[in-house]
């Protein structure tokens, strides 16, 4: 029997913190091949540094107590403009059955954060499909200052 698609109203969104690293690692292992799994120490350091600097714009989406999607977004120096500060999207993962609800919600949130912070978005995407997904779910991505720095090294 097919499962019903999740409803946005049933999901809870909140700030992603260093305390969420174990749940992020578990989700990564579910949705990515091993080469793309986050390393616990690196992820913890990125989130901790961003928290200490007041530059953590990362979000987590939960269905009950289960992490179903996240973005790691931090304030960071621009790859393009010397001295510019941007919101840099480091990672994003979503459980497959939640993709249609969670991806737009997470993209809307970091698009909103860009406006509030008065910055641009930069990201390195692992695959061309990632860029297409971002563009499909958010027509506002480029309108609000989104820039893609290129594909991440394989």
Q: What is the pLDDT of residue 14?
A: 94
Q: What is the pLDDT of residue 133?
A: 56
Mean pLDDT of 135-146: 53
Q: Which of 100, 36, 90 is nearest to 59 (CA)?
A: 90
What average pLDDT does the structure give for the chain? 80
| Angle subtended by helix axes 99-117 and 128-137, to nearest 10 | 80
Confidence class for position 79, pLDDT limits 50, 70, 90: confident
Q: What is the pLDDT of residue 21?
A: 96
SS3 per-residue string spanning the chain: CCCCCCCHHHCEEEECCHHHHHHHHHHHHHHCCHHHCCCHHHHHHHHHHHHHHCCECCEEEEECCEEEEEEEEEEEECCCCCCCEEEEEEEEEECHHHHHHHHHHHHHHHHHHHHHHCCEEEEEECCHHHHHHHHHHCCHHHHCCEEEEEECCC
- For 43-59, the pLDDT digits (tens) are 999 999 999 999 999 99
Distance between CA atoms of 60 and 23, rounded to whole angstroms? 10
Give yes or no for residue 62 having a pLDDT over 90.
yes
Confidence class for position 153, pLDDT limits 50, 70, 90: very low
- For 116-128, the pLDDT digits (tens) are 887 777 766 555 5
């Amino acid at each position: 029997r097919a499962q019903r698609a999740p409803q946005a109203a049933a999901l809870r969104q909140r700030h992603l913190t260093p305390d969420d690293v174990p749940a992020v690692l578990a989700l990564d292992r579910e949705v990515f091949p091993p080469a793309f799994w986050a390393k616990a120490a690196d992820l913890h350091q990125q989130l901790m540094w961003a928290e200490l600097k007041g530059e953590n714009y990362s979000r987590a989406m939960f269905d009950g107590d289960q992490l179903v999607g996240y973005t790691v977004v931090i304030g960071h120096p621009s790859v393009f403009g010397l001295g510019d500060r941007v919101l840099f999207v480091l990672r994003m993962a979503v459980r497959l059955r939640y993709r249609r609800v969670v991806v737009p919600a997470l993209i809307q949130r970091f698009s909103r954060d860009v406006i509030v912070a008065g910055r641009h978005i930069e990201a390195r995407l692992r695959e061309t499909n990632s860029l297409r997904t971002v563009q499909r779910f958010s027509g506002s991505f480029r309108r609000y200052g989104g820039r893609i720095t290129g594909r991440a090294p394989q």
